Amino acid sequence: MLEKLEQSIGYNFKDKGLLKKALTHKSYANEVNIESNEKFEFLGDSILEFISSKYLYDNLPNLKEGEMTKVRAEVVCEKSLYKIALRHNFSDFLYVGRSERYNGGNKRPAILADSVEAVIAAIYFDAGLDMAEKFIIENLREEIKLSSKNVGMKDFKTVLQEKVQVNKENKIEYKLLREDGPDHNKTFTVCVEINGKRIAEGTGHTKKKAEMEAAKKTLEILK
């Protein structure tokens, strides 16, 4: 079954167990008493950040340090990784627990995004950094290209602030609703309130990313 995923991502594992581990959510691991993909996620996240930073440095020399940071933040995020998971139908191959699967856990953006990070680590262990880099760049090249073109634009929080506070009496607040996941790989959920009324929610692996996602959704609602 995993051969279809290997064909889609363009890499055949020498050690198939690494790929299976990368696709093993903690809910399934707890049921059958095996190790989950959480440590792979942790390493994959670091590899992803390094490779994307290296790519920006090598291929976009005209970007300033702050601009490269913004592009990386936009590209190395749950939304982009979720797109990769959808592109390769990761949800069909995830090992999740019975309850998690019943509740659609294999299709949740956060779980799918985490599995992409885990697969990056699995590729690294199986074939080294060059092959992991190939997978990352092939899947994020267009996202990087688009983000680098828009890097001079204001971020969503700034745009929302300017839009809402045309009337200076309006008040915007970002409130943390919950934190999910282990300490090394948390997912934050934040809501935007305008004058005490909740407008939209956003999620991300940092509070800042969650706030940015919430601001983006709020702007879409207020159009």
Residue of 41, 45, 126, 133 with catalytic role: 45
Residue of 74, 100, 114, 117 with catalytic role: 117
Q: How far apart are CA 146 and CA 79, in angstroms?
A: 14
173, containing H or E segment: strand 172-180
DSSP codes, 186-200 = -EEEEEEEETTEEEE
Helix spans in 128-155 (H): 129-149
Q: How far apart are CA 179 and CA 136, in angstroms?
A: 27
Sign of the alpha-carbon dihedral angle for 42, 47, 53, 56: negative
Catalytic residue list contains 41:
no
Contact (Cβ atoms closer than 8 angstroms) between residue 111 and residue 94: yes
Catalytic residue list contains 49:
no
Q: How far apart are CA 180 and CA 143, in angstroms?
A: 27
- The CA R_g of the chain, rounded to the nearest whole Å, is 19
Give 105's DSSP letter.
Answer: G
Beta bridge partners of 176: 190
Q: How far apart are CA 123 and CA 160, in angstroms?
A: 40
Residue with tokens 């490779």: 51
Active-site annotation, residues: 45, 117
